[in-house]
Chains A and B, each alone.
Chain A
Amino acid sequence: MAKKYRFIGKPAPRKDAVEIVTGHAKFVGDIKQHGLLWGKVLRSPHPHANIKNIDTSKAARLPGVRAVLTHHDVPKWKAGVPPHLPMLDSKVRFVGDAVALVAAETEEIAAEACNLIDVEYEQLPAVYDVEEAIKPDAPQLYEQFPGNILPRGLPFFGPELLQEVIMGDVDQGFQEAEIISEGTYAFENIPNPLPYEPPGAIASWDGPDTLNVWVSGQGAYLDRLSVYYTLGRKIKVNAYGGPCGGSYGSKGMSLPVVLYSAILARVTGRPVRVCLSKEEHLNTFALRLGSRIHGRVGMKKDGTITAISGDWLINTGYYSSATQGMVAVGCGEVQLALRCNNWDLRPKVICTNRCASGIVRGFGGQELKCALLPIVTEAMEKLDIDPFEFFKKNYIRPGDGYYWRDSNWYVYRGAEYSKAMDKGAEAFRWSKKWRGWLKPTSVDGSKRRGVGVGVHGNGDTGEDTSEAYVRLDPDGTATIYSSICEHGTGQRSCLCKMVAEVLQLPLEHINITDSDTRISPYEFGPAGSRGTYAIGSAAIAAAEDAKQKLFALSAHALNAKPEDLETEDGMLFIRGNPENRIQWRRGMGVDSTVLGFGRFEADFTLPNFMMTFVEVEVDTETGKVDLLRVVSATDVGQIIDPYMLENQLNGCLGSAGIDSALIEESVLDTNTGRLLTANMVDYKWRTFAELPEMQNVILETPFPSHRFGAIGIGEIATAPGPSAVLMAVSNAIGTRLHSYPITPDKVLAALGKIRGGDEK
Chain B
Amino acid sequence: MPQNKGVENDIPRIKATLPKIITESGSVIEKEFIELTVNGEAYELRIGNRHGEVDPVHTLAHTLRETLNLTGTKIGCDNGACGACTVIIDGKAVLSCLMLTVECDGKSITTIEGLADPITGALDPIQQSFVDHTAFQCGYCTPGIIMSTKALLHKNQSPTEQEVKESLSGHYCRCISHYHVIEAVMDVVERGR
A32-B69, A197-B140 in contact; A108/B55 too (CB < 8 A)? yes
A118–B3 Cα distance when bound, in Å, is 9
Using an 8 Å CB-CB cutoff, how does the interface string of B110-142 with A read, 1 for contact, 0 for none?
011101100000010001101111101111111
B134 touches A647 (CB 8 A): yes
B132 touches A13 (CB 8 A): yes
User: Which of B14, B111, B112, B146 is most buried by chain A, counting CB atoms within 10 A of its CB?
Assistant: B14
A17-B134, A680-B82 in contact; A119/B172 too (CB < 8 A)? no
A694 touches B179 (CB 8 A): yes
A282–B130 Cα distance when bound, in Å, is 29
A654 touches B3 (CB 8 A): no
Closest beta carbon of chain B to A277's beta carbon, Å: 7
B177 touches A650 (CB 8 A): yes
Closest beta carbon of chain A to B111's beta carbon, Å: 7
A376 CB–B CB distance under 8 Å: no
Q: Given B49, B171, B173, B176, which contacts A652 in the complex, CB threshold below 8 Å? A: B176
Closest beta carbon of chain B to A455's beta carbon, Å: 20
A116 touches B11 (CB 8 A): yes
A434 CB–B CB distance under 8 Å: no
B79 CB–A CB distance under 8 Å: yes
A246 touches B175 (CB 8 A): yes
A22-B115, A26-B71, A654-B173 in contact; A195/B138 too (CB < 8 A)? yes
A688 touches B178 (CB 8 A): yes
A1 CB–B CB distance under 8 Å: no
> In the assembled complex, which residues on chain B have CB atoms less than 8 Å from the CB atom of A20?
130, 136, 139, 142
Q: Given A22, A195, A694, which contacts B116 in the complex, CB threshold below 8 Å? A: A22
B13 CB–A CB distance under 8 Å: yes
Closest beta carbon of chain B to A409's beta carbon, Å: 36
B131 touches A21 (CB 8 A): yes
A644–B81 Cα distance when bound, in Å, is 27
B2 touches A196 (CB 8 A): no
Closest beta carbon of chain B to A249's beta carbon, Å: 12
B168 CB–A CB distance under 8 Å: yes
Using an 8 Å CB-CB cutoff, how does the interface string of B132-156 with A read, 1 for contact, 0 for none?
1110111111110010000000000
Q: Given B6, B133, B141, B175, which contacts A651 in the complex, CB threshold below 8 Å? A: B175
A108 touches B3 (CB 8 A): no
B138 touches A23 (CB 8 A): no
Q: Given B1, B81, B127, B169, which contacts A688 in the complex, CB threshold below 8 Å? A: B169
A30 touches B71 (CB 8 A): yes
A22–B117 Cα distance when bound, in Å, is 11
B137 touches A13 (CB 8 A): no
Comparing A146-154, A336-344, A486-494, A553-561, the segment that makes contact with chain B is A486-494
Using an 8 Å CB-CB cutoff, how does the interface string of A4-38 with B read, 1 for contact, 0 for none?
00000001011011101111111101101000000
Closest beta carbon of chain B to A466's beta carbon, Å: 21
B92 CB–A CB distance under 8 Å: no
A13 touches B134 (CB 8 A): yes
List which B10-53 residues lie within 8 A (CB) of chain A. 11-14, 49
Q: Given A29, A653, A681, which contacts B81 in the complex, CB threshold below 8 Å? A: A681
Count of residues in B whose CB is under 8 Å from the partner chain: 69
Using an 8 Å CB-CB cutoff, how does the interface string of A191-204 with B read, 1 for contact, 0 for none?
00111110000000
> In the assembled complex, which residues on chain A have CB atoms less than 8 Å from the CB atom of B136?
17, 20-21
> In the assembled complex, which residues on chain A have CB atoms less than 8 Å from the CB atom of B191?
none
A29–B62 Cα distance when bound, in Å, is 12
> In the assembled complex, which residues on chain A have CB atoms less than 8 Å from the CB atom of B3?
45, 115
List which A669-705 residues lie within 8 A (CB) of chain B. 674, 679-681, 685-691, 694
A372–B7 Cα distance when bound, in Å, is 52
> In the assembled complex, which residues on chain B have CB atoms less than 8 Å from the CB atom of A681?
79, 81
A416 CB–B CB distance under 8 Å: no
B95 CB–A CB distance under 8 Å: no
List which B66-100 residues lie within 8 A (CB) of chain A. 69-79, 81-82, 84
Q: Given A43, A116, A487, A644, which contacts B138 in the complex, CB threshold below 8 Å? A: A487
> In the assembled complex, which residues on chain B have CB atoms less than 8 Å from the CB atom of A13?
131-132, 134
> In the assembled complex, which residues on chain B have CB atoms less than 8 Å from the CB atom of A29?
71, 75
- With both beta carbons as reference points, the residue of chain A lying nearest to B143 in the complex is identified as A23
B177 touches A115 (CB 8 A): no
A17-B131, A45-B1 in contact; A680/B76 too (CB < 8 A)? yes
Q: List 11 A-B contacts (CB under 8 A).
A: A45-B1, A45-B4, A197-B76, A246-B138, A487-B138, A488-B137, A647-B175, A650-B180, A654-B176, A679-B81, A685-B174
Other than the known A109-B14, A196-B74, what 20 A-B pairs have Cβ atoms closer than 8 Å?
A20-B136, A21-B123, A21-B130, A21-B143, A22-B113, A22-B116, A115-B2, A115-B3, A115-B7, A118-B4, A196-B76, A246-B140, A278-B76, A279-B1, A490-B134, A655-B174, A679-B79, A681-B79, A687-B169, A688-B168
